[in-house]
Structure 1
Amino acid sequence: MAQDRHLAVAREYSHLADRYEDKWAFYVEATVRETMYRLPPDLGHRVLDIACGTGALLRAVRAAYPAAELTGTDLSPEMLAQARKNLPAEVALHTASADDLPFPDDCFDTVVTTSAFHYFQLPFDVLREVHRILRPGGRLILSDWCDDYFSCRVVDRILRLFDAAHYRCYDSTDCHMLLEETGFEVANMDRYKISWLWGLMTATARKPSLR
């Protein structure tokens, strides 16, 4: 079942890849801007963007944190091909599912993901994978649609009926619970609107340090 959803997501974005940033220009710019605003001053050396799409957030992170070693993953090879056009060769890009990441334990200082969590049919598995690959003390910054807002609840219900790729949106309480139950310490949970329709949340969470 999860594999079917992976295929649906990859198929949907393979068709959108070459026009994604033009079609969703306002939304992409706003989500990148708001996520960047909430990043800490120091991301550490190794940074992973899960479901990086066409690389808009990676480009912004590279500009703001030029010393960081950047990696991106996405289910869609076509989206990654678009990302590659606008990123230097030293930014590593991998076709991979968020619940089965091709990285060793404790290898990233920071993991970011934007506008992807509502696609994950196995959110616990995704967060456990993120926890596994983060070093002790490493951080996750997760931005996504927020079901606290009525407009997003309406969009969520419609997409569940008509979009095979969409799984579900979460409210901030559910997101907080998911993070804590997968071993994270939640440092902050921001909710905000980027338009009359789109309400987002950004969670900042930490993998506990070794004692």
Structure 2
Amino acid sequence: MPHIRVSDVWLRIFSRQLGGPSGPLGALVARMLNKRNAALITAAVETLDLSGSEKVADIGFGGGFGLQLLLDATNDDGRVHGVEPSAAMLTRAGKTWRSDVAAGHLELHRATMDSLPFADGALDGWISLNTVYFIDDPTVGFSELKRVLAPTGRGVIGIADPDWMARQPFTKHGFTLRPVAEVLAALEAAGLTTQHHILDHREPPCHLLAVTP
């Protein structure tokens, strides 16, 4: 029987939590994700350039920092949707933003990128950050992202630099790392036009891919 190091076990657990936080450890991971990704999430929401009345979504919202920024950026005429496959993160978000859910300003959905709970063209904007590592076929997921985006809408995909990610031990478990060129090609294949921005003033460097139909 092969020897399994304790460090390998913890790396697998940590990697699994990053893909779908759950349980007591999930709450800690959610707070870590919010802190670690704050600059990337902020840049993504700013890239949407919202006026306030839009219908927008954070797809794969994890710890929920993006939900708060989208709520802050929309007014009573707007609506924010949170899409997340993790039941634990949905429960956490429902408690954190209970009043916004009750007021109809925020709607939460348990779903994945490849099967979004929206009608064609229903969203004026969306963000989806650090999610592409956990989807089997990005073209399928990106086609769904395009389907739900209004003709005049805008979306933002955010990914950490793949070379940096490849050097992190946790990405060996459950992560699919793709070169930026491959992600761009999948977006194009899905019918999306992309503007590529690099955030290299932070660690790790990140890529913001702003897309339009």
Please point out which of 185, 188, 196 is paired with 1:180: 188
Give deviations 1:106-142, integer Å, cap 9, x for gaps: 2111121112122112211100111111122221111
Q: Does the 8 Å CA contact 1:141/1:203 hold for their aligned counterparts?
A: yes
Q: Does the 8 Å CA contact 1:49/1:111 hold for their aligned counterparts?
A: yes
Report percent identity of matched pairs: 19
Give the Cα–Cα distance (whole angstroms) in 2 for the partners of residues 141 and 23 of structure 1. Answer: 22
TM score, norm. by length of structure 2: 0.79
Q: Does the 8 Å CA contact 2:18/2:29 hold for their aligned counterparts?
A: no
Give deviations 1:73-115, integer Å, cap 9, x for gaps: 1110101111122221121001101101122212111121112
Q: Which SS does the other structure have where 1:167 is aligned?
A: coil
| Structure-2 residue corresponding to 1:81 | 91
* Structure 1, unpaired ranges of 5+: 1-7
| Structure-2 residue corresponding to 1:124 | 139
Task: Indicate the RMSD between aligned Cα atoms, in angstroms.
Answer: 2.3
Q: Are 1:95 and 2:103 matched, yes or no? A: no
Q: Does the 8 Å CA contact 1:124/1:182 hold for their aligned counterparts?
A: yes
**1:10/1:92 CA distance change after superposition, 3 Å:** farther
**How far is 1:152 from its partner?**
2.7
Q: Which SS does the other structure have where 1:26 is aligned?
A: helix
| Structure-2 residue corresponding to 1:152 | 165
Give the Cα–Cα distance (whole angstroms) in 1 for the partners of residues 166 and 18 of structure 2. Answer: 24
TM score, norm. by length of structure 1: 0.80
**How far is 1:40 from its partner?**
1.8
Question: What code does the residue aligned with 1:154 have?
Answer: R
| Structure-2 residue corresponding to 1:114 | 129
**1:137/1:25 CA distance change after superposition, 3 Å:** closer
**1:36/1:125 CA distance change after superposition, 3 Å:** same
Give the Cα–Cα distance (whole angstroms) in 2 for the partners of residues 36 and 104 of structure 1. Answer: 22
Q: Does the 8 Å CA contact 1:46/1:69 hold for their aligned counterparts?
A: yes
Give the Cα–Cα distance (whole angstroms) in 2 for the partners of residues 182 and 43 of structure 1. Answer: 28
| Structure-2 residue corresponding to 1:199 | 205
| Structure-1 residue corresponding to 2:41 | 32
Give the Cα–Cα distance (whole angstroms) in 1 for the partners of residues 117 and 133 of structure 2. Answer: 22
| Structure-1 residue corresponding to 2:5 | none
Pick the structure with greater CA Rg. Answer: 2
Q: Does the 8 Å CA contact 1:49/1:73 hold for their aligned counterparts?
A: yes
Give the Cα–Cα distance (whole angstroms) in 2 for the partners of residues 55 and 12 of structure 1. Answer: 13
